[in-house]
């Protein structure tokens, strides 16, 4: 498989709380069709791409909460997406809420997968950095209950052979943590998919509202450059459930340069050519880990407590 192809972030505009899966999947299919027409081989959909960003609401009714989770992947709702990707030979990244039934009860993860052009799941990741809070905080303009609705991912930061190179996944808040990106970089990642739902307004530090787009690109670009990898960041954007989400979906080169960026906060395909061999420009030089890293001096990074 060629290591040179067109990749794209498939930004989504708002998904309202009552929007049925079938309608969301139809939107994903429309983006996939645009990708096919533009000869795109790999498409990155956002974090929790099948539903609204439900952690913004306190949901006391368990049946109502369960409605936002997938119990199997693929399943009947997303089967048309897998079929279209297979028909077009297009790989994709999909974020979704995952529910696993165990003898001990329900386990909930914020999950994302990479699916190859033949419709096979090649990598699964469960979000490790879960932001927000566990309890209802009615004084806030909206909740961020990821710490309540998900448990920490238990799959580490895996990388897989994918699309002729090595690929990994981070989910939203993970992108702000250099250790998360470096964990993928240390395994040779050449392409990292990052889906996100980032509110424009951060109630605990509103002075940073004007910086949300800057901090998004700062994190994605630094992660790309410091690890010599392409990064494809896909937002859920726009006014969703009364909350404004940033856009800025982009494709970032291993040099840290943004190759393409969204012009809207709606459904939009943001495509750029990637050449995975270009990762070597960074990996073999300024960030040649074997030659220049000093891990024995970094003990504090893994000290617990
Ligand atoms: N979905 C997220 O992880 N959102 C966080 C917000 C809450 C700060 C983010 O890091 O963008």
pLDDT at 1: 79
Q: How far apart are CA 160 and CA 94, in angstroms?
A: 15
Q: Does residue 60 sit within a domain?
A: yes
Total domains, the chain: 1
For residue 157, tell me if it sits in a domain: yes
pLDDT, position 3: 97
Please report which confidence band the pLDDT of residue 143 belongs to, taking 50, 70 and 90 as the band edges: very high
Tell me which residue range forms the domain holding 142.
9-302
Does 2 fall in a domain?
no
Q: What is the mean pLDDT of residues 263-279?
A: 98
Query: Is 56 within a domain?
Result: yes
The percent of residues above 70 in pLDDT, for the chain, comes to: 100
Whether the predicted pLDDT of 138 surpasses 90 = yes
Q: Is 259 helix (H, G, I), strand (E, B) or coil?
A: strand
Pocket of ligand 1 (CB under 6 A): 47, 131-132, 144, 172-173, 176, 196-198
DSSP 124-190: EEE-----S-SS--TTSSS---HHHH----SS-S-EEEETTEEEEEEEGGGGG-HHHHHHHHTTT-S
CB of 73 within 8 A of CB of 98?
yes
Task: Tell me the pLDDT tens digit for each residue of 172-212.
Answer: 999 999 999 999 999 999 999 999 999 999 999 999 999 99
Is residue 4 assigned to a domain? no
Model pTM?
0.98
Task: Give 280's pLDDT tier (boundaries 50, 70, 90).
Answer: very high
The confidence score (pLDDT) of residue 302 equals 92
**Alpha-carbon gap, residue 183 to 74, rounded angstroms:** 27
Query: Each residue of 239-260: pLDDT tens digit?
Result: 999 999 999 999 999 999 999 9
**pLDDT in the model for residue 278:** 98
pLDDT at site 223: 99
Across the range 108-116, mean pLDDT stands at 99
Q: What is the domain-level CATH number for residue 238?
A: 3.60.110.10
At 263, is the pLDDT very low, low, confident or very high (cuts 50, 70, 90)?
A: very high
The verdict on residue 75 lying in a domain is yes
Residue 57 alpha carbon to ligand 1 centre in Å? 15
On the question of pLDDT at 261 being above 90, the answer is yes
Name the catalytic one among 146, 172, 243, 250.
Answer: 172
pLDDT digits (tens, 9 = 90+) for 289-301: 999 999 999 999 9
pLDDT band at residue 305 under the 50/70/90 scheme: confident
Question: Which tens digits make up the pLDDT trace of 157-171?
Answer: 999 999 999 999 999
Is 236 a residue of the active site? no
Determine, yes or no, domain membership for 36: yes
Nearest atom in ligand 1 to the alpha carbon of residue 127 is 3
Query: Ligand 1 centre from 198 Cα, in Å?
Result: 5
The active-site residue out of 127, 166, 236, 283 is 127
Lowest mean pLDDT of 1-5, 91-95, 105-109, 134-138, name the range. Answer: 1-5
Q: Which atom number of ligand 1 is nearest to the Cα of residue 173?
A: 10
Q: Does residue 3 lie in a domain region?
A: no
- pLDDT tens digits, one per residue of 226-236: 999 999 999 99
Q: What CA–CA distances, in Å, run from 119 to 169, 234, 246?
A: 18, 20, 30
Q: For the chain, where are the alpha helices, taking DSSP H only?
A: 21-37, 62-66, 79-88, 146-149, 178-185, 212-227, 279-283, 289-292
Please give the Cα distance from 258 to 97 (Å, whole number).
29
**31 C-alpha to center of ligand 1: Å?**
24
Per-residue pLDDT for 103 more than 90? Answer: yes
């Amino acid at each position: 498989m060629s290591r040179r192809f067109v990749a794209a972030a498939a930004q989504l505009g708002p998904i309202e709380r009552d929007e049925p899966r079938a309608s969301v999947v139809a939107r994903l299919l429309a983006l996939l069709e645009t990708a096919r027409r533009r000869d795109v081989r790999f498409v990155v959909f956002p974090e929790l791409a099948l539903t609204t960003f439900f952690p913004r609401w306190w949901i006391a009714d368990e049946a109502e909460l369960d409605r936002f989770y997938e119990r199997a992947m693929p399943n009947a709702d997303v089967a048309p997406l897998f079929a279209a990707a297979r028909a077009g030979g297009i790989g994709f990244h999909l974020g979704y809420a995952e529910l696993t039934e165990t003898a001990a009860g329900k386990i909930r993860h914020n999950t994302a997968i990479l699916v190859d052009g033949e419709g096979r799941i090649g990598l699964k990741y469960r979000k490790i950095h879960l932001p927000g809070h566990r309890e209802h905080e009615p004084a806030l303009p909206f909740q961020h209950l990821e710490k309540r609705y998900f448990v920490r991912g238990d799959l580490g930061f895996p990388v897989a052979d994918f699309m002729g190179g090595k690929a990994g996944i981070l989910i939203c808040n993970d992108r702000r943590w250099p250790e998360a990106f470096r964990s993928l970089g240390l395994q040779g990642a050449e392409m990292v998919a990052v889906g996100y739902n980032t509110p424009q307004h951060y109630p605990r530090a509103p002075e940073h509202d004007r910086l949300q787009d800057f901090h998004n690109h700062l994190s994605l670009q630094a992660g790309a450059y410091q690890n010599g990898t392409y990064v494809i960041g896909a937002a859920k954007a726009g006014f969703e459930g009364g909350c404004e989400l940033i856009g800025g979906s982009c494709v970032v080169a291993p040099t840290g340069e943004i190759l393409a960026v969204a012009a809207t906060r709606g459904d939009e395909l943001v495509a750029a050519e990637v050449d995975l061999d270009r990762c070597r420009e960074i990996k073999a030089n300024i960030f040649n880990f074997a030659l220049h890293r000093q891990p024995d001096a970094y003990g504090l990074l893994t000290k617990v407590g």
